[in-house]
């Protein structure tokens, strides 16, 4: 695992505009998102303000339809906000072209999905390798080394040659975690990563993500409506009807809530998550 920590501290690509050391990794400022259903506007998010510090293990909690996936998609540059701004590493991503966003996504963001979304014709190791093929400056040797290390981290070394349909749900999600980590992303986003897994397997997957978060300092943001999953986070953002209703910081077994809806900084508490 030390090697993972090491490789996370050495980003593959230099950041063009590095953020000041104490700035939030992600800033969401007055963001709203409106979908159009026929001629009916549907407001999925309104007035969202949120700072996400580097190294956190953050749960976006809320019932179905509250806007969790919409928020993750905006942070993940899959979609753009209707109003407001989103900054990742100090860079405004809310007004960029689709091409620029695709590039940013490929290098800065790892995704983990409820339904795993592995490529069925590729083996586990090929699925993990796939995002690395876009990074031309990476040598073949370095690429293979990284794939091998990541499969080891998620406990699937012996399953490297297996295709997704030869793996259990939990194993598939482990492949997806390794794939999400492959490019050393700034942030890993997981949309209900345990929703298609039984309770025990879901718990193992969450603990694996948590271990990687602790050991490598990788930032995880995941959505869930499962209280047991929320309780494994160290930060929580509660959504209801497209609004942030509560922000929480873990203190031992309890949550300390801030009911303010806007920017808050918690850099101090996060420093221990970096190492
Ligand atoms: P959650 O992930 O918390 O279940 P979503 O972000 O998926 O919530 O959805 C929030 C609201 O936006 C819901 O009312 C949903 O029906 C609506 N919505 C989500 N995606 C779309 C879309 N592409 N087009 C129209 N409405 C959408
Ligand atoms: Mg959702």
What domains are there in the chain, each with its CATH number? 2-24+52-80+95-273 (3.40.50.300)
Counting ligands in written order, which one lies closest to the CA of residue 74? 1
DSSP per-residue string spanning the chain: -HHHHHHHHS-SS--SSPPPTTS-SEEEEEEEEEEEETTEEEEEEEEEEEEE-TT-EEEEE--TTSSHHHHHHHHTTSS--SEEEEEETTEE-TT--HHHHHHHHHHHEEEE-TT----TTS-HHHHHHGGGGG-TTS-HHHHHHHHHHHHHHTT-GGGTT--GGGS-HHHHHHHHHHHHHTT--SEEEEESTTTTS-HHHHHHHHHHHHHHHHHH--EEEEEE--HHHHTT-SEEEEEETTEEEEEEEEETTEEEEE---S----HHHHGGG--
Mutation pick for ligand 1 pocket among 32, 34, 35, 244 (CB with most ligand atoms within 8 Å): 35
Tens of pLDDT along 74-121? 999 999 999 999 999 999 998 888 899 999 999 999 999 999 999 999
- pTM for the whole thing? 0.86
- How many angstroms is it from 192 CA to the middle of ligand 2? 7
Tens of pLDDT along 50-72? 999 999 999 999 999 999 999 99
- How many angstroms is it from 73 CA to the middle of ligand 2? 10
pLDDT higher than 50, residue 273: no
- 8-22, 184-198, 230-244: range with lowest mean pLDDT: 8-22
């Amino acid at each position: 695992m030390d090697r993972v920590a090491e490789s996370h501290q050495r980003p593959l690509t230099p950041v063009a505009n590095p953020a000041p050391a104490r700035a939030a990794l992600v800033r969401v400022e007055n963001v709203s998102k409106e979908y159009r259903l026929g001629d009916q506007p549907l407001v999925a998010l309104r007035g969202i303000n949120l700072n996400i510090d580097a190294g956190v293990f953050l749960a976006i909690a809320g019932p179905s339809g509250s806007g969790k996936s919409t928020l993750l998609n905006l942070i993940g540059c899959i979609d753009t906000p209707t109003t407001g701004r989103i900054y990742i590493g100090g860079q405004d991503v809310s007004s960029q072209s689709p091409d620029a966003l695709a590039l940013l996504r490929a290098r800065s963001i790892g995704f983990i999905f409820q339904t795993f979304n592995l490529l069925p014709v590729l083996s586990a190791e090929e699925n993990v390798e796939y995002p690395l093929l876009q990074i031309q400056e990476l040598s073949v040797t370095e690429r293979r080394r990284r794939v091998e290390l990541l499969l080891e981290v998620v406990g699937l070394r012996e399953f490297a040659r297996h295709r997704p349909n030869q793996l259990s749900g939990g194993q598939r999600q482990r492949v997806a975690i390794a794939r999400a980590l492959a490019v050393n992303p700034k942030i890993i986003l997981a949309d209900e990563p345990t929703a298609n897994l039984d309770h025990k397997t879901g718990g193992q997957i969450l603990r694996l993500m948590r271990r990687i978060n602790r050991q490598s300092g990788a930032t995880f943001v995941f959505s869930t409506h499962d209280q047991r999953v929320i309780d494994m986070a160290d930060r929580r953002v509660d959504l209801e009807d497209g609004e942030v209703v509560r922000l929480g910081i873990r203190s031992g077994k309890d949550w300390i809530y801030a009911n303010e809806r806007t920017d808050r900084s918690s850099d101090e508490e996060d420093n221990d998550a970096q190492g």
